[in-house]
Every structure is written in structure tokens, then in C-alpha cells.
């Protein structure tokens, strides 16, 4: 039986700002870009969330919902430093750590001897040490797999701890909404709801064969999660699958020609970012287009050496899907590690 922790700092960027600047405490606060341009909220505190403000929302809309919202620019260098302090604490308990972001990680403590091997006590100790040494709160979920641990960490936020014991798994997942399942987004949830599947208990009434017939290979994954099963290991090294850059423009780009004019600078930035990576090969190119109505599309093509002409082709194809003003453009590479999927030279003689 594995022992998995999922730790998530509470409103991380905003929490760092409130820690460093006491005048921000107790008032609606958000970290993000300027509302005068096309700024977006990176994160916000719970006082702001009470007004409906949330991450990925435009700063302009956030200020309409909460006119007295305090909006501050992010300090990424500071956040990275704080993140390293938090992860140093995690490493006191295990080396099996899978970072998901600066403030979020899975930890496998199955074989850790800390706290006499008690995962619950380790979680309690981590929370106490992060608060004492870093001045922030983290919420932690404790369970036998990654799926359950991640759900548990969000159960008692902020500054929460939720433990799902092995004997509690059946009862816990039975009434769990399907929207909580790993890999289920808004559209998939709608498809499940249309077939009368609202909870894991509803899925468990169906056989695996029925789930496969209705949802293809993903049906097996849904069936496993609905029974509380998740065999994914904690991955210490996360392989990068892509690298990209994008830009939100202060004023919409009116037509394809205007988008084409912006493409070279994006490609130049992407090339510079890729040059800083080590151990990855390019296996494809992609272009992302977000239109003035906030709909977006991504076009990609497999190619080991994409050039400007390929990006131009992908941009034309993406823009043609809506043929309207554009607020954001992005370009990227699909990546592959050396040796991954590469052909192997066979021996001439056995």
C-alpha cells in the first residue's frame, strides 16, 4: 500500500505578497497584469474569491466584480526563491517528489522512516514547518494514490489536512462528482451528465465493457478512478513535452496580415527559449490563436526541423478557422528526449 501526499500552497503568489506586505492582509488582493491592457489574474486571495474573482480571469473583469480589488504585479524571482524553501522542507521526508508547479507537488512517503513512517504525521510536520520557516500555509492530502491525494488536498482549504484511509476509499469515492475525476474537463463532464452519470457511484453501476463501448479507452480510466484506483507512480523527473511562448496584445490584431507581422518576434523568442534547454529534440511545431471573442484554436504539425514557412502555414490555417481579430498569438515546439521513440540499430549477427 503506497502512501502519497499532495501538497498545495494556499493562493501562493498572493500569500507571498501578504506575507511581505502586511497592508495587503484582510483585503481583496490579486496578482496579475494591468487592467489597462490585456492583463490576466495569476492568483488571488480568498477575500477576492468571495467576489467571484479567480485565476485566468481578465484583470478588467476582476475589477468590475470587485472595484476595490488591490491588483499587484507578480515578483517571479521571489516566488521561485520561496518555492525552493518549501521544496527543501519536502526533501526532509522523501526524495520521491514530483513537482507540478512552484507551489504544488506529489510526494511518495511509502518507505520514509520519518515520523515513525506515519504519512499523516509527516503531513502535519510539513505544514507546521512551512508555516514556521516560510510564513505560508499549505494544504495537504494523504491517500494511497495520486488521484485521491490531490482531491484530499483541496478538501479543507485553506490551511487544511485531509486523510483518506484505505478502508475509507469506497465510501469516499461513491458520492464524488465525476467532475472531480482526473482528466474530466467541462465537456467530458457534460457528456457524462447527458448519460445520467453524475457521481462515481453512477459509473460503478456500469460494467467495464459498457464504459469502453461508450467512452472508448478513456472509459477504462473512468472505471478505475470511480473505484478509487490509480496506479500512476510519483515521477521524480518530469519530462518536458513542449516549449512555447505567447503574447496578449493591447489592441486586437485586425487581420491575418497583422498576425503575420507579429510572427517573427514570437519565433525569435521561441528559438531563444529552446536554445536554453538541454537534451531535447524538436519533433513538431504548433501555433495558438486566441480570437477577440476569447475562443481559441491550436494547429500543429510534426516536423523535425520546422522553419518560418511552416509556422506561417499553421498561422494561416488557425486564423482561417474564425477569420476575425486576434487578441493572443503563441508558437511552440513539441519535444522529444534523445532516445525516446528513436530507431534502434539491430545487430547483424545474433
| pLDDT of 349 | 43
Q: Give the residue numbers of the binding site.
A: 8, 103
Contacts of residue 175, defined as CB under 8 A and 6 or more positions apart, other chains included, come to 199, 200, 201
Judgement on whether residues 252 and 315 belong to the same structural domain of the protein: yes
Residue 277: band (very low, low, confident or very high) from pLDDT cuts 50, 70, 90: confident
How does strand 97-101 pair with strand 29-32? Answer: unpaired
What b/e string do you get for 240-253 counting C-beta neighbours within 10 Å, with b at 16 or more? eeebbbbeebeeeb
- Find where cell 529552446 sits: 274
Domain that holds residue 100: 1-164
List of long-range contacts for 19-25, beta carbons under 8 Å, 24+ apart: 19/135, 19/136, 20/78, 24/70, 24/72
Q: How many helices (H) and strands (E) does the chain have?
A: 13, 12
Domain with residue 266: its CATH number is 3.30.1490.100
Q: Which of 119, 73, 69, 75 is nearest to 93 (CA)?
A: 119
Q: Give the residue numbers of the binding site for Mg(2+).
A: 8, 103
Judgement on whether residues 52 and 139 belong to the same structural domain of the protein: yes
Distance between CA 79 and CA 13 in Å, rounded? Answer: 7
Distance between CA 85 and CA 91 in Å, rounded? Answer: 10
**Which three cell numbers, joined as nine digits, stand for 59?**
484583470
> Which three-class secondary structure state does DSSP give residue 125?
helix
Residue 276: count other Cβ atoms within 10 Å of its Cβ: 7
pLDDT at 338 over 70: no
Judgement on whether residues 106 and 191 belong to the same structural domain of the protein: no
Q: Which of 117, 115, 119, 83 is nearest to 101 (CA)?
A: 83
Judgement on whether residues 187 and 321 belong to the same structural domain of the protein: no
Judgement on whether residues 143 and 214 belong to the same structural domain of the protein: no
Distance between CA 285 and CA 294 in Å, rounded? Answer: 23
| pLDDT of 96 | 94
In a domain, 277, yes or no: yes
- Number of domains making up the chain: 3
Distance between CA 65 and CA 56 in Å, rounded? Answer: 14
Judgement on whether residues 192 and 93 belong to the same structural domain of the protein: no
Domain boundary among 164, 187, 213: 164
Digit-coded pLDDT (tens) for 32-82: 988 776 788 999 999 999 999 999 898 999 999 999 999 999 999 999 999
Predicted TM-score (pTM) of this structure: 0.74
Distance between CA 11 and CA 42 in Å, rounded? Answer: 10
- Maximum separation of any 2 CA atoms in the chain, in Å: 76
In a domain, 236, yes or no: no
In a domain, 344, yes or no: no
Give Cα separations from 33 to 56, 69, 99, 266 (angstroms).
Answer: 11, 13, 25, 20
Rounded to an integer, the average pLDDT of 292-312 is 92
In a domain, 289, yes or no: yes
Domain boundary among 164, 187, 216: 164
Q: Which of 295, 299, 293 is nearest to 263 (CA)?
A: 299
- For the question of residue 239 being annotated catalytic, the response is no
Judgement on whether residues 73 and 158 belong to the same structural domain of the protein: yes
pLDDT at 10 over 80: yes
Judgement on whether residues 150 and 16 belong to the same structural domain of the protein: yes
> In whole angstroms, how large is the CA radius of gyration of the chain?
23
Q: Which of 9, 8, 55 is nearest to 33 (CA)?
A: 55
* Catalytic site residue from 17, 104, 239, 300: 104
pLDDT at 344 over 60: no
Judgement on whether residues 214 and 248 belong to the same structural domain of the protein: no
Cβ atoms of 47 and 57 closer than 8 Å: no
| pLDDT of 276 | 82
Distance between CA 39 and CA 62 in Å, rounded? Answer: 10
Judgement on whether residues 27 and 135 belong to the same structural domain of the protein: yes
Digit-coded pLDDT (tens) for 195-248: 999 999 999 999 999 999 888 888 999 999 999 999 999 988 767 788 999 988
Domain boundary among 164, 185, 206: 164
Amino acid at each position: 500500500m503506497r502512501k502519497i501526499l499532495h501538497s498545495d500552497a494556499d493562493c501562493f503568489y498572493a500569500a507571498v505578497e501578504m506575507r511581505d506586505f502586511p497592508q495587503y492582509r484582510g483585503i481583496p488582493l490579486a496578482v496579475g497584469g494591468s487592467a489597462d491592457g490585456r492583463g490576466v489574474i495569476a492568483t488571488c486571495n480568498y477575500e477576492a474569491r468571495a467576489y467571484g474573482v479567480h485565476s485566468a480571469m481578465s484583470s478588467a473583469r476582476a475589477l468590475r466584480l470587485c472595484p476595490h480589488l488591490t491588483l499587484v504585479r507578480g515578483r517571479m524571482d521571489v516566488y521561485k526563491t520561496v518555492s525552493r524553501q518549501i521544496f527543501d522542507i519536502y526533501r526532509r521526508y522523501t526524495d520521491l517528489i514530483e513537482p507540478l508547479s512552484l507551489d504544488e507537488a506529489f510526494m511518495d512517503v511509502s518507505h520514509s522512516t520519518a515520523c515513525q513512517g506515519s504519512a499523516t504525521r509527516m503531513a502535519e510536520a510539513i505544514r507546521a514547518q512551512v508555516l514556521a520557516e516560510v510564513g505560508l500555509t499549505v494544504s495537504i492530502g494523504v491517500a494511497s494514490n495520486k488521484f485521491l491525494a490531490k482531491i484530499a488536498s483541496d478538501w479543507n482549504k485553506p490551511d487544511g489536512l485531509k486523510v483518506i484511509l484505505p478502508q475509507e476509499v469506497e465510501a469516499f469515492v461513491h458520492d464524488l462528482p465525476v467532475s472531480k475525476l482526473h482528466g474530466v474537463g467541462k465537456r467530458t463532464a457534460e457528456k457524462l451528465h447527458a448519460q445520467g452519470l453524475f457521481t462515481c457511484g453512477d459509473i460503478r453501476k456500469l460494467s467495464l465493457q459498457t464504459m469502453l463501448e461508450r467512452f472508448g479507452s478513456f472509459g477504462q480510466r473512468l472505471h478505475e478512478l470511480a473505484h478509487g484506483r490509480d496506479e500512476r507512480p510519483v515521477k521524480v523527473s518530469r519530462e518536458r513535452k513542449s516549449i512555447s511562448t505567447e503574447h496578449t496584445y493591447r489592441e486586437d490584431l485586425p487581420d491575418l496580415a497583422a498576425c503575420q507581422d507579429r510572427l517573427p518576434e514570437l519565433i525569435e523568442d521561441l528559438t531563444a527559449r529552446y536554445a536554453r534547454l538541454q537534451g531535447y529534440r524538436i519533433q513538431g511545431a504548433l501555433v495558438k490563436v486566441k480570437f477577440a471573442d476569447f475562443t481559441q484554436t491550436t494547429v500543429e504539425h510534426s516536423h523535425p526541423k520546422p522553419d518560418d514557412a511552416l509556422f506561417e502555414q499553421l498561422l494561416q490555417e488557425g486564423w482561417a478557422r474564425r477569420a476575425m481579430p486576434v487578441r493572443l498569438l503563441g508558437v511552440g515546439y513539441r519535444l522529444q528526449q534523445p532516445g525516446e521513440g528513436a530507431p534502434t540499430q539491430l545487430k547483424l549477427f545474433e
